[in-house]
Amino acid sequence: MTLTIIVAASITILVLGIGATITTVGAWYRSLRKPVWNPPEWVFGPAWAVILGLAAWAGVLAWTQAPDAGAQLRIGVLFGVNIVLHLLWTPLFFNLRRPDWALIEVAFLWLSVVALMVALAPIAPLAIWLLLPYLLWVAFAAFLNLTIVRMNPPFGSAA
């Protein structure tokens, strides 16, 4: 179990590091019209650290309680897909400056969290509760993303 915890913690730190590295919040983002309920920028880093830490805990529980190697493979694939989707949103929104594309992508991220919850529930019921903040935060982020898209001119145009 110790090795599983080390691997999960390492992956989590790697994902957080990649996310921080590829996130370029600059003048473009700051110039967007945003709702009054938009959290301050400093909230996102700590929120993601806690959320991904809880997700890693859910993964460790499910991995160690998995009945066989096939279940562990499914857990690994689901987390792998989730990580890819998690890391894809940031460059779409910030680097390509396409919140409209990020809005489409975030739906798949949300579904990947649901898939994790459904798959892990029979193996490690606590995993649902550990993943719930992730699901809620992605839902909030999707609503914020939608609101930003609605409040600003069309993206990808010369306007």
- pTM score of the predicted model: 0.91
What is the rounded average pLDDT of the residues 87-100? 94
Question: Using one digit for the tens of pLDDT, what is the confidence trace for 105-116?
Answer: 999 999 999 999
What is the rounded average pLDDT of the residues 77-99? 95
Q: How confident is the model at residue 46 (pLDDT cuts 50, 70, 90)?
A: very high
**Long-range contacts (CB closer than 8 Å, 24 or more residues apart) made by 112-116:** 112/78, 112/81, 112/82, 112/85, 113/82, 113/138, 115/78, 115/81, 115/82, 116/55, 116/58, 116/78, 116/79, 116/82
Pair 48, 16: CB distance under 8 Å: yes
Residue 91 in this model has a pLDDT that exceeds 80: yes
What separation, in Å, do the N-terminal and C-terminal C-alpha atoms of the chain show? Answer: 55
What is the rounded average pLDDT of the residues 80-95? 95
DSSP string, 49-65: HHHHHHHHHHHHHHHHH
The letter for the amino acid at 24 is: T
What is the rounded average pLDDT of the residues 74-90? 96
Question: Using one digit for the tens of pLDDT, what is the confidence trace for 63-78?
Answer: 999 999 999 999 999 9
What fold characterizes domain 2-151? Ferritin (1.20.1260)
Residue 159 in this model has a pLDDT that exceeds 50: no
Q: How many angstroms separate the CA atoms of 133 and 151, rounded?
A: 26
Cα 19 from chain centroid (whole Å): 10
Q: How confident is the model at residue 158 (pLDDT cuts 50, 70, 90)?
A: low
Nearest to 140 by CA among 30, 47, 57: 47
What is the rounded average pLDDT of the residues 86-99? 94
In the prediction, which pLDDT does 157 show?
A: 62
